[in-house]
Chain A
Amino acid sequence: MTPFQLSVLEFSVAAPASVLTSGTALAYLRRVRLERPAIGTFNSRDIRVLFTFIVFLPFLYGLLPHWALTTFLSITFASALSIGLRPLLSPAMLWIVVGTLIGGSIWLNRTMLGTVWGWQLCWLEGDLMVLLAAVAISNLYVQGGMKFKHVAWFALILACYDLAFTTVLPVNSHLAEEFLGWPLDPSFGMRVGLYNATIGVGDLLVYSLFLIAAFKAYGRTAARIAMALIVVFGAVAVSVAPLVLDSFITARTDVAIPAQTLFGPAAFVAYLWMRRHYGRERTMQEFLASSDVVRPTGSPAAAPAPLPTPVPEPAAV
């Protein structure tokens, strides 16, 4: 394939993946409420914890034997999918769907990779899982109190991380190659002929976070700007990069683009601009009270449950 053809292939995966995942995350945010713990909201220290986890995760992937990796990914996907589907399905249906998706991925990848059509079927099934997982986790974080500010910083830090781990220490591209053809590949991808184009679940998660955090913080106009940035820097720029720099094309002619390196700075600048332009971010409480939330017709807002009587400290007897 020529670099141009690779770009077209990458764009034909990255654009729908980015738009579909972040768009679904937005629709989910507007319609579905995830349970949250009694106490706790996302803060900057959580970003540090998350980042530390992300730094060590590729090494863990590299160290684990395939059977252990598949087990680990099964648990990870089952957790993510159950979080996202729990408000929508009955418990029995939830575990049937989760089990079918994970079991289906394992079965398809073990039996269907002999043909291009089989590969495509595997990718489609995997893409659905990746999309649902990214939607669930992005909503878990944002509905859990992650602010636009946190997302912007997270994206900026990931930009540096992605560059380092793609060029200086090419763990990510190595992993992308390693995962190919194995069950539960945490990537959204498609195969055309001999070539696979993918975009990682981490990238889709950041795009989804960026879109829904912008929407929650500042509303519809901010969301439109965010979506435009996702398309331009998350899909177009990523796809045309091989035309400019062939260093992102591996020996196997797979394209390994550090997507966050392109998207992170743009996302951060956009956040700074929006903060200057719109001011303080909305809290989750303000967002839920706004018309940006889709409420089921005819269902009145639930009145808060009365709390028990208070316990002051009275005087001694």
Chain B
Amino acid sequence: MLETGIRQFRMAMGMVWGRKLDTANLARLVEDALATLAEFGEPGSDVQAVLDGPLADPDSRADFASRCLRRTARRLDAQSPFYSRRFAAAGIPAGKLDVETLRSIPVTVKRDLVDRQAEFLCADATRHLATRTTGTTGRPAEIWLSRYELDLLAGLGALAGILRDENRASDIVQVNVSSRATLSVHLTAAVSRLVGSGCRVLGIVPPDEALDSLTSGGVTLLATVPSYLAELVSAARRRGLGPADFQLRRIDGGGEVLSPSLAAAAQETFGVPRVTDVFAMTEVFPVTGRTCSARHLHHDVNMGLVELLDLETGEPAAPGALATVVITPYYPYRECMPIFRYDTRDVVRCLPEGTPDCEMAGIPATSLVLGKADHILRLSPTYVVTPRDLVEAVEALPSQPWPARFRAEAVDGRVRLSLPKSAVAGLGEAEAADHFARHGLDLDLALVPDAEASSLRQLRSDLHETTFVAAPALIGE
């Protein structure tokens, strides 16, 4: 207990002073957390303060953010060629930045990362692992990470996972995300190692293989993307599998829109109480967002600054407005290839003023991510259709067309929605229109053959990986 206190103190001081954290110390804290659970069955009562930080007060939050921004900017000014030039051009000393003057620094966009990758590398960091975005929204960006970053993220993830009872030593995690998502795969395995749980990385394999593993391998946690989860649900229902066939206690989804219909179906089929919907991006790690029971997205304010900028003006968005999420991860959480004011182009709606009424009320929140800014259909000043609106409406169709395949475009001031024929099977034209109207969508339907479904909308589950089990036998049979 005494040495755990010293370790916590060391870590807290590192965070307060903005020094690189001792990752070995963090790993030992993870062991302490495991020992705590073994003895007491749960962490102490002030666990929430440890997990969410003491930043419920807006003034404290702003002060903390300004200090972290200055620290981060000072390092970038000294080590990152890209940001050194950018700060110089803005004419504001990095050490004098705060949340107000921050807006004089232009946002960083994905094209900057793709075209000028080398300029983002910090001179004082050593590259260790490269991870690429999956490229479903264009050319992939490549992010380099140092060993320190990987160890730090694994340690912080394991500690939070243990204290929130998300990860137990008795768990087996099955990972069904693209094997090329190296950061996600690496971190899941590293967190499992620290926690002492099992980890099975399968990738986007044929759903039946993943189901075989889920039903026979003692798997208790599933990490996947919503589109692949949809394939798993459909395959499980086709095989007549139900909650009794699985030992899952949680499914973690992220990276795509998760509709309530799919989440409910997954809960019912796999027997889990909830499918978690998480916001995270390779470019802005480790800043993430968590979803509460009221379907708010609560943004991490301890490891980065989250700005909500109006889609039209680029100024801070007003309550109720649509906004793009701009994120600055703080030093010392990013070391090798940090970014500053990265415009994710993920659109959210700002909540009305006041404290959100949910279990995470102390943490700033927005709506769930509604889709990428470029995919928003703005039909009039007051009528906007987002990818989330469409995914939720399509996946709620009685035919259960999971994952949703569609293409939406604005034609003559109306939404034209192209759908595979099977999606509206059994529904007349009026019934289909009725269904979408109930979801607040006034649109024209255009049906296409089912064979063209996958060309309508690219999904992460399209990144299928072949296996010898699934491949047809060629010779020797």
Contacts and interface: CB of A to CB of B under 8 A. Distances in A.
Interface of A: 35-43, 45-46, 49-50, 144-146, 283-285, 304, 306-317
Contacts of B255: 314-317
Interface in B317-347: 344, 346
A283 B5 contact: no
B370 to A, nearest CB: 14
Interface string B273-301: 01011101111000010111000001000
B458 to A, nearest CB: 12
26 contacts: A36-B40, A37-B1, A38-B49, A38-B50, A40-B44, A41-B35, A42-B1, A45-B3, A46-B2, A146-B1, A308-B164, A308-B298, A308-B360, A309-B274, A309-B276, A310-B161, A310-B164, A311-B164, A312-B166, A313-B184, A313-B280, A314-B184, A314-B254, A315-B460, A316-B132, A317-B134
Main secondary structure of the interface of B (DSSP, over half): mixed
B223 interface: yes
A256 B240 CA distance: 79
Given A309-B292, A315-B460, A46 B254 contact: no
B223 A313 contact: yes
A35 B40 CA distance: 12
A39 B32 contact: yes
B165 interface: yes
Interface in B252-275: 252-255, 274
B449 interface: no
Given A37-B8, A46-B3, A145-B1, 8 more contacts: A39-B43, A146-B1, A283-B41, A311-B280, A313-B188, A315-B181, A317-B255, A317-B344
B351 interface: no
A36 B39 CA distance: 12
Interface in B4-58: 4-5, 8, 29, 32-33, 35-36, 38-47, 49-52
Nearest to B50: A38
A258 B419 CA distance: 88
Contacts of B161: 310-311
Contacts of A49: 2-3
B177 interface: yes
Interface in B85-121: none
A314 B36 contact: no
Contacts of A42: 1
B170 interface: no
B366 to A, nearest CB: 15
A44 to B, nearest CB: 10
B220 interface: no
Interface in B395-433: none
B225 interface: yes
Nearest to B298: A308
B71 interface: no
A46 B3 CA distance: 7
Interface of B: 1-5, 8, 29, 32-33, 35-36, 38-47, 49-52, 131-134, 136-137, 157, 160-161, 163-166, 177-178, 181, 183-184, 187-188, 191, 223, 225, 250, 252-255, 274, 276-278, 280-283, 288, 290-292, 298, 344, 346, 359-360, 460
Given A38-B43, A285-B40, A309 B291 contact: yes
Contacts of A317: 133-134, 136-137, 255, 281-283, 344, 346
Contacts of A310: 161, 164, 166, 250, 252, 276, 278, 290
B188 A39 contact: no
Contact of B163 (A35, A38, A46): A38
Contacts of B277: 309
4 closest residue pairs by CB, A with B = A314-B254, A312-B252, A316-B282, A285-B41
Main secondary structure of the interface of A (DSSP, over half): loop
Contact of A43 (B3, B41, B134): B3
Nearest to B460: A315
B278 A312 contact: yes
Given A310-B250, A314-B223, A317-B282, A145 B39 contact: yes
A315 B225 contact: yes
A15 B399 CA distance: 81
A315 B47 CA distance: 28
A184 B282 CA distance: 60
Nearest to A289: B41
A313 to B, nearest CB: 5
A39 B290 contact: no
Contacts of B223: 312-314
A39 B35 CA distance: 9
Nearest to B47: A38
A282 B17 CA distance: 41
B278 A311 contact: yes
Nearest to B137: A317
A311 B166 contact: yes
A292 B434 CA distance: 63
B359 A308 contact: yes
Given A309-B290, A315-B225, A39 B163 contact: yes
B21 to A, nearest CB: 15
B292 A313 contact: no
Nearest to B163: A38
Contact of A307 (B36, B165, B278): B165
Contacts of A145: 1, 35-36, 39-40
A310 B167 CA distance: 9
A284 B181 contact: no
A283 B39 contact: yes
Contacts of A144: 1
A284 B32 contact: no
Contacts of B166: 310-312
A40 B177 contact: no
A146 B40 CA distance: 11
Contacts of A46: 1-3
A315 B5 contact: no
A35 B45 contact: yes
Contact of B44 (A37, A285, A313): A37
A37 B47 CA distance: 8
Given A37-B46, A40-B4, A49-B2, A314 B40 contact: no
B295 to A, nearest CB: 11
Contact of A283 (B40, B164, B165, B290): B40
